[in-house]
Amino acid sequence: MNRLLLNKIILVLSTLSAVIGISFLFWILATLTYKGVSSLHLSTFTQDLVNGGIRNLLVGQFTMALIASAIAVPIGMFAGIWLREYSNQNKLASVIRNLSDVMMSAPSIVIGVFVYALFVAPFGNYNGFAGVIALTIMMIPIIISTTDNMLALVPKELREAGIALGGSKHKIIVQIIIKAAKVGITTGVLLSFARIIGETAPLLFTSANNQFFTMDLTGQFPSLTVSIYNLATYPDEESRQLAWAASFVLTAIVLIINLTGRYMTRNKK
Amino acid sequence: MGGKLFKNFSFFSATLSFFILVGIFSILFIYAQDSIHEFGFHFLGSEVWEADEDDAELGVFGGYIPLLGTMLSTIIAMVIATPLAIGIAIFLTEIAHKSLIKPVSIAIELLAAIPSIIYGMWGLFYFAPIIQSTFGGNGVGLLTAGIVLAIMIIPFMAAITRDSMNTVPDVLKESAYAMGATKFEVIKDVIMPYAKGGIIGSIILALGRALGETMAVAFLIGSVMQLPSKITDATTSIPVLLANNFSEAEGLEMSSMYYLALILFVVSFAIISIAKFYFLGKKVK
């Protein structure tokens, strides 16, 4: 009976692990909702940080993440297209694939340091542009890997059909292959956007932060995440409440974008 | 014509990640030169971090404390996360009823989507007090940082472990069951040996993540330059030191910060490469 007992114990422990994991999720979400909602007011969204709101921070964070996406998505997609459609899976392709995977896991603070050296130190001031570059560097490898994987799922027959119709290679890619992989790539883009919009470390000494509303990327740029870090360490109750409100809003945004992405692929299957 | 341009731009984009990586390494290496010249490898074992008040080009800097803090918090995280992540993967592949697999997977993946700064906030105000009342100390320190780090890397490890467990052919499992094996015996003798590479790979990849994690640890490790003497002691780690002090540093101290960033970058590069090449392989379809 011993081995049956051991079996039971292991199965119970495994189930327990899942329960623990899920409890932490609910614990964190419950805390955020409780603390966040009670600290939220209408003025939180209409005022800037200097007046105790997060309007400029939200606009700033989205602006940087959107510009970063506008740069990273085409570059990442083209790179993925080269890897899958042009490289013939040669040695160089496998080197680039691996390097891009390594880059995906590179510590984000190191990317911040790198961008500081190139785009902050020479100009002598923090700027939103540097923040955008840091986020772009974080996003590119994620888009590469998504595009690469999604193009791999497109059936060979579609490519052959395109060739049989006499289409040139890039026309086949743009008009047939990318269309077939559209949903998967869009999901990947949404998931990576959800990831970079919540990043703090690469922004700390690139865009830094700004209390005021600004769209000027050549100066310090407002950031929601950097503000949360600053506000949480202030001793006064008001700052902490604003930090909770901002955390709640940030998490809600990240999870909604994330779930939207997942929902899209689920529908397709 | 358009085709040629399209192809060339694709190629340029693909090589960009190579240039960015080389760029990161070179920039860190160049800016770390002063510190590397001054302290060499002795930097790794020295625990003194003292700027000279009058001259930014003087001072004594050693990376031992942040290096140790990074390693210790990572080790604590790995010790806690590994069994839990494998447990979750077993639950998802072998135990859970079909109707449970999807919601549990999504919940675990959402845990991975939560920004690290949120883990930091929550950890500081809700988790640290619990650690303080259970284990003593200040609440913030190695243990708190390690546990919260563990929660952060569990979803990541569990997902890769689950995927590699899912690759075990049903025939293998069925043959073992037919011989009268219990579920645990199937897991231990069939699934684990088969999925070993993937599981070890996921552990090493998670290790790489934990080493470079910044914001959650910045809230929770205490951020003080001191050698920890017990597990609840506050200390600092490389990412945390960079996050808090990098932008104010000057001269030789700044160069030493670049040195630390270089060490972190090289170590995580090595760890991730090992995980990818030796254990996870690259599936090229």
Spell out the SS3 assignment of chain B.
CHHHHHHHHHHHHHHHHHHHHHHHHHHHHHHCHHHHHHHHHHHHHCCCEEECCCCCCCEEECCHHHHHHHHHHHHHHHHHHHHHHHHHHHHHHHHCCHHHHHHHHHHHHHHHHCCHHHHHHHHHHHHHHHHHHHHCCCCCCHHHHHHHHHHHHHHHHHHHHHHHHHCCCHHHHHHHHHCCCCHHHHHHHHHHHHHHHHHHHHHHHHHHHHHHCCHHHHHHCECCCCCCCCCCCCECCHHHHHHHHHHHCCHHHHHHHHHHHHHHHHHHHHHHHHHHHHHHCCCCC
Within an 8 Å CB–CB cutoff, is residue A119 touching chain B? no
Query: Which A positions 79-98 lie with beta carbon below 8 A of chain B?
Result: 79, 81-83, 85-87, 89, 93-98
Q: Taking CB atoms and an 8 Å limit, are A18 and B92 in contact across chains?
A: yes
What is the pLDDT at residue B158?
Answer: 95
What is the pLDDT at residue A267?
Answer: 62
What is the pLDDT at residue B213?
Answer: 94
Query: Which A positions 139-198 lie with beta carbon below 8 A of chain B?
Result: 140-141, 144, 152, 168-171, 173-174, 194-195, 198
Per-residue pLDDT tens over the stretch B28-76: 999 999 999 999 999 999 999 988 888 888 889 999 999 999 999 999 9
Query: Which B positions 209-238 lie with beta carbon below 8 A of chain A?
Result: 209, 211-215, 218-219
Pairing status of strand B59-61 against strand B49-51:
antiparallel
What is the pLDDT at residue B284?
Answer: 39
How many residue pairs from chains A and B have C-beta atoms closer than 8 A? Answer: 263
Mapped onto helix, strand or coil, the DSSP state of residue A61 is: helix
Within an 8 Å CB–CB cutoff, is residue A232 touching chain B? yes
Q: Taking CB atoms and an 8 Å limit, are B84 and A173 in contact across chains?
A: no
Provide the residue ranges of all domains of chain A, joining segments of one domain with +.
Answer: 1-39, 42-268
Query: Which B positions 17-46 lie with beta carbon below 8 A of chain A?
Result: 17-18, 20-21, 23-24, 27-28, 31
Within an 8 Å CB–CB cutoff, is residue B270 touching chain A? no
Query: Which B positions 143-202 lie with beta carbon below 8 A of chain A?
Result: 151, 154-155, 158, 182-185, 187
Q: Would you say the C-alpha torsion B93, B97, B98, B103 has a positive or negative sign? A: negative
**B111-118 mean pLDDT:** 95
Report DSSP state, residue A208: -
Q: Ramachandran region of residue A245, left (φ > 0), alpha (ψ -120 to 50) or beta? A: alpha
Per-residue pLDDT tens over the stretch A180-198: 999 999 999 999 999 999 9
Q: What percent of chain B has pLDDT over 90?
A: 84
What is the pLDDT at residue A166?
Answer: 87
CA distance A72 to chain B (A): 10
Q: Taking CB atoms and an 8 Å limit, are A258 and B122 in contact across chains?
A: no
Q: Taking CB atoms and an 8 Å limit, are B24 and A110 in contact across chains?
A: yes
Which residue from A142, A199, A98, A109 is spatially nearest to B24, judged by alpha carbons?
A: A109
Q: Taking CB atoms and an 8 Å limit, are B282 and A98 in contact across chains?
A: yes
List per-residue pLDDT tens for chain A, 269 residues long. 688 999 999 999 999 999 999 999 999 999 999 999 999 999 999 999 999 999 999 999 999 999 999 999 999 999 999 999 999 888 999 899 989 988 998 999 999 999 999 999 999 999 999 999 999 999 999 999 999 999 999 998 988 898 898 888 888 898 889 999 999 999 999 999 999 999 999 999 999 999 999 999 999 999 999 999 999 989 899 999 999 999 999 999 999 999 999 888 776 54
**Chain B residues with CB-CB distance to A234 below 8 A:** none
Residues A77, A147: Cα–Cα separation, whole Å: 6
Domains (range + CATH), chain B: 64-280 (1.10.3720.10)
Q: Token pair of A102, please?
A: 């390594």
Per-residue pLDDT tens over the stretch A107-157: 999 999 999 999 999 999 999 999 999 999 999 999 999 999 999 999 989
Within an 8 Å CB–CB cutoff, is residue A244 touching chain B? yes
Return mean pLDDT, chain B. 92
Architecture of domain A42-268: Orthogonal Bundle (1.10)
Q: Token pair of B113, please?
A: 């989507």
Per-residue pLDDT tens over the stretch B205-216: 999 999 999 999
pLDDT level of residue B1 (50, 70, 90 thresholds): low
A216 contacts: CB under 8 Å, gap ≥ 6: A128
**B133-161 mean pLDDT:** 93
Compare all CA atoms of chain B with the CA of A31 and give the residue at the minimum distance.
B122
pLDDT level of residue B283 (50, 70, 90 thresholds): very low
pLDDT level of residue B91 (50, 70, 90 thresholds): very high
Residues B285, B96: Cα–Cα separation, whole Å: 30
Per-residue pLDDT tens over the stretch B10-25: 999 999 989 999 999 9
Q: Taking CB atoms and an 8 Å limit, are A97 and B215 in contact across chains?
A: no
Residues A59, A14: Cα–Cα separation, whole Å: 43
Phi then psi for A172, rounded to 5 degrees? -60, -45
Q: Taking CB atoms and an 8 Å limit, are A225 and B115 in contact across chains?
A: yes
Compare all CA atoms of chain A with the CA of B6 and give the residue at the minimum distance.
A170
pTM here is 0.94
Compare all CA atoms of chain A with the CA of B83 and give the residue at the minimum distance.
A17
